[in-house]
Amino acid sequence: MTANTLASLASALISGSVKVVDLTAPLGPDTPVLYLPPQFGKNTPKVKVHTISEYNQDGPFWAWNWLELGEHTGTHFDAPCHWITGKDHPNNTTDTIPPQNFVAPVNVIDRSKEAAANPDYLLTVESIKEWEAQNGAIEAGSWVLLRTDWYKRNGSTETFLNADENGPHSPGPTAEAIEYLLTKGIIGWGQETIGTDAGSAGGMNPPFPAHNLMHKANRYGLASLSNLDQLPAKGAVLIAAPLKFVKGTGSPVRALALIA
């Protein structure tokens, strides 16, 4: 039965009846990166691409580059050790997480209208339960992704971070929403903003609850996702595998979804 299932999936991929959706933002020197206030410490650098050779005297038959970038840049995966609450878990780094955890069913909660009306929109427990009443319960072992269409702002740091003198303004979950999702046994939480928390999350209790609580539970995060508007509420399979960095706290990923 397992062999037949895989053969059917392979045939469906070849025929196009199962579609592959790219959930990844372009990664390059113009990729927006998170800027933290000075009191929080050092910031991640902008992406830099350094040429080694390009069909010239440094390498006549080939072109290649070396890259300078942070682990949490562009569309990226957060491992549990990324946050202090997850630092003591076993298998909490990108090289030790079981690979089967990189492939899982996905639930997409569409709150794009709410985020368009209010960039500080926060997903609540009540809103999640309304979604479940319409689409079915969130399964253990699945991803939950918040669709806000924020990825359409990803063309510039200014529009993507959406910050003013009061700080960044972007949607995300309440602490109670993350706590509720963890009771469902989800494997990870993701969204389209530059991080897995709302722009106002530094003032929440606990601060940055998506990071604090998800990684405390040895779960994962995905940030800067794109094209969630192409996914159904349920039924897609998410593939998000970080690079196997030794002791990595996270990694840029090519996040993909399979939909029928």
Catalytic residues: 82
Q: Which residues contact 225 (CB under 8 A, 6 or more apart)?
A: 23, 24, 25, 75, 145, 151, 190, 191, 192, 255
Closest-CA residue to 68 (of 27, 105, 104, 13): 27
First to last CA, the chain: 20
Q: CA–CA separation, 13 vs 8, rounded Å?
A: 9
Answer yes or no: are the C-beta atoms of 167 and 204 closer than 8 Å: no
DSSP secondary structure string, 24-84?
Answer: B---STT-------GGG-PPPPPPEEEEEEEEETTEEEEEEEEEE--TT-SSEEE-GGGSG
